[in-house]
Amino acid sequence: MNPAAFQPLTYVYKPAPGAARTLLLLHGTGGDERDLLPLAAHFGPGFNVLSVRGNVQEGGMPRFFRRLGMGVFDEADVIFRTHELADFLPKVAEKKGFDAAQLIAVGYSNGANIAGGLLMLYPDLLAGAVLWRPMQPLVQQVPTFAAPRPVPVYFAAGQQDPTVRPAATEAYAALLTQAGYDLTRRDAPAGHNLTQADLDGAVAWMAKNFPAA
């Protein structure tokens, strides 16, 4: 992987006085770096917020990596863009003065999937992750990976989500659990859209696993 090929990422950073941890917001297809900011406020004032825009365009819509069709990912691009994001995070942490070891990803749809790429390719990078409507990002090229500790992961699939097969969701949840992640699964009686229950569940999970200092 050639770091010289990496592109800079557009982002918004909002510091919180005295915060030890930083939420890494990762939008869904067609979103941008401001898309999830209103949701971040629900987690409370004790987090810095770093919200990033994906570098890929699909019909004018930002994404974090290319796909070949609905639910079919360009896995070579998943790998490249995951490395690109992982290269970016410690650099922006140094620039903005937050602890890169205390990043908690909060991703929806495509954003959840690039967060999953970090969990698979950089299992020691994130302190935790919220995955709303996730799909396994690497299926044909599954790396060997293991969490260095029981990193907490909130996993919220949609029971009527037409974009992912239930069997694929089960396999992905099992893969993360087998790798040593501390998975909290809360499937929603919904499709691919986010619901209030998804947000409430993630907020409660965050308060339990990452209580304010």
Please identify every residue annotated as catalytic.
109, 161, 192
Quickly list H helices, the chain: 37-40, 75-96, 110-121, 166-178, 196-209
Cα three-residue angle 74-145-32, rounded to 5 degrees:
45
Match 């969490």 to its residue by tokens: 147
Say whether 100 sits in a helix, a strand or coil: helix
Tokens of 127: 């302190």
By the 8 A CB rule, do 102 and 89 touch?
no
Neighbour tally for 180: CB within 10 Å? 15
Residues 108 and 26 sit within 8 Å (Cβ to Cβ):
yes
What is the residue whose two structure tokens read 């009686």? 189
Among 30, 3, 212, which Cα is nearest to 109's?
30
